[in-house]
Amino acid sequence: MSKGIRTRMVLALVGAALACAQAAVAQQEPDWSKVQIKVTKVSGNIYMLEGQGGNIAASVGEDGIVIVDDQFAPLAEKIQAALKELKITDKLVRFVINTHYHGDHTGGNVPFSNAGSTVIAQDNVRKRLETGGTAGNGGSIKMDVKPAPKPALPIITFEHDVTVHLNGEDIRALHFPSGHTDGDSIIFFPRNNVVHMGDDFVRYGFPFIDVASGGSVQGMVEAMEKATAQLPADVKVIPGHGALSNLDDVRAFTKMLKETSAVVQKAINEHKTLDQMKQDKILAPWSKWKGDFVNEDAFIETLYNSLTGRKGEFVKHN
Ligand SMILES: [Zn+2]
């Protein structure tokens, strides 16, 4: 990944909804006017939009536009303009589906809602946006989340799944509990053979798992395995962050999650402390996955807290 990824990822998490250290955030705030929205045709009438923050999937057709995730508020006009530029429809975005509550995926909810879009998400997305709280891995990655304003809140929520029937497709959002957060959905576009996996699948290396918001590595593995099992071999996969992918990429990611989890679980069984695991560099064989955002130590913390059920501040044992 390019350098600056940490800034982007931190900002991604901070989004419009997170409070964080205001001064630091202000310094990291990108020049939104320089952000360009890149549109890639994925398949049929499904497009992937990249700008700043999480990837967007868009179903664009005569019934209107459905987008999955909406990046940051200052980019909403550019996103809408990029969709109009396809010259398929002049209609505004009709539905926004949020894959989870983080600000780099929901930051555009306010402007899109104000422009008339209906925001849809799993129950816990609305709850976490409404209350705010803490996002983090239970260790060194920790950010305060401000309560979001009313127009940011999804007005249609679901517990398990919901289907939006538009543009000749049954666009299905299916909840997978306790993966990246406790409100994740994976979005299927079956007619076009495309899936948007939200941040349950990312391409920036070791994933951020928001243990503080109900995420867990076990849930992330389960989500990947269950989703993969019901997808055709040649499905096009839009990750939460990073380049368009395929099922082999998802399998490699899942394999890494399982292997690293097993190593940390073994160390836990041997009564090693978290500090010992870091000192022993037990994830060294997977160092190619280390990113600027989640390095090996941060991922050890993530796995340790996830596997021991620690959600908040890490409490040293011994
Ligand atoms: Zn996220």
C-alpha 312 – ligand 1 centre gap (Å): 17
Distance, in Å, from the CA atom of 254 to the CA atom of 241, rounded to the nearest integer, reads 16
C-alpha 135 – ligand 1 centre gap (Å): 9
Determine the pLDDT at residue 315. 41
C-alpha 101 – ligand 1 centre gap (Å): 7
User: Quick check: 250 pLDDT over 80?
Assistant: yes
Distance, in Å, from the CA atom of 297 to the CA atom of 306, rounded to the nearest integer, reads 14
C-alpha 190 – ligand 1 centre gap (Å): 24
C-alpha 102 – ligand 1 centre gap (Å): 5
Determine the pLDDT at residue 318. 32
C-alpha pair distances (Å), 84 with each of 88, 91, 182:
7, 8, 34
C-alpha 223 – ligand 1 centre gap (Å): 15
Tell me the CA end-to-end span of the chain in Å, nearest whole number: 38
Which of 132, 63, 65, 124 minimizes the C-alpha distance to 98?
124
% residues pLDDT > 70 (the chain):
89
Laid out side by side, the sheet with 194-196 consists of 161-166, 169-175, 185-189, 194-196, 236-238
C-alpha 81 – ligand 1 centre gap (Å): 25
Which tens digit of pLDDT belongs to each residue from 136-195? 999 999 999 999 999 999 999 999 999 999 999 999 999 999 999 999 999 999 999 999
Determine the pLDDT at residue 13. 52
**What's the DSSP call for residue 193?**
T
C-alpha 87 – ligand 1 centre gap (Å): 31
C-alpha 88 – ligand 1 centre gap (Å): 30
C-alpha 270 – ligand 1 centre gap (Å): 32
Longest dimension (CA), the chain: 63
C-alpha 199 – ligand 1 centre gap (Å): 5
Q: 0.75 exceeded by the pTM? A: yes
